[in-house]
Amino acid sequence: MFEAGLVELQDLVRVLEEGSLGLDESIARFERGISLLRRCYQALERAEQKIELLTGFDRSGNPVIAAFDATATLDATSVAPVKRQAKTGRKRPEPEAQPGLSLPEEKDRSLPLF
């Protein structure tokens, strides 16, 4: 169920990004996508509730388990949201440095002078 919904959602996104549909059909597909997205999130939440972590073994050799903690470990305030850009053939702007984050060093791409 989850996998089929995800595949359909990916197909909907691809078709919508192409921009070949009319407004009414685009809205209908967008609404279908929202419905699929909700179903996928609900399926993930149900799966997370079933997950248990093996934390070790007791003296008798029996597994010791704990409930899975689905709390996010990434502080959402420290990462800037990603903005999608229309496909126009233009080069994307370079990412900006965030306080507390460092960007990888860029290699020197200059050509040797003769």
With bands split at pLDDT 50, 70 and 90, how would you rate the model's confidence at 114?
A: very low
**pLDDT above 70 (res 46):** yes
With bands split at pLDDT 50, 70 and 90, how would you rate the model's confidence at 40?
A: very high
pLDDT in tens, 5-16: 999 999 999 999
- pTM, full prediction: 0.46
User: Contact at 8 Å (CB) between 94 and 85?
Assistant: no
pLDDT in tens, 49-77: 777 777 778 888 888 887 777 676 656 55
* Helical packing angle, 2-18 and 23-50, nearest 10°: 150
So where are the chain's domains?
A: 2-71
**Tokens, residue 77:** 């305030």
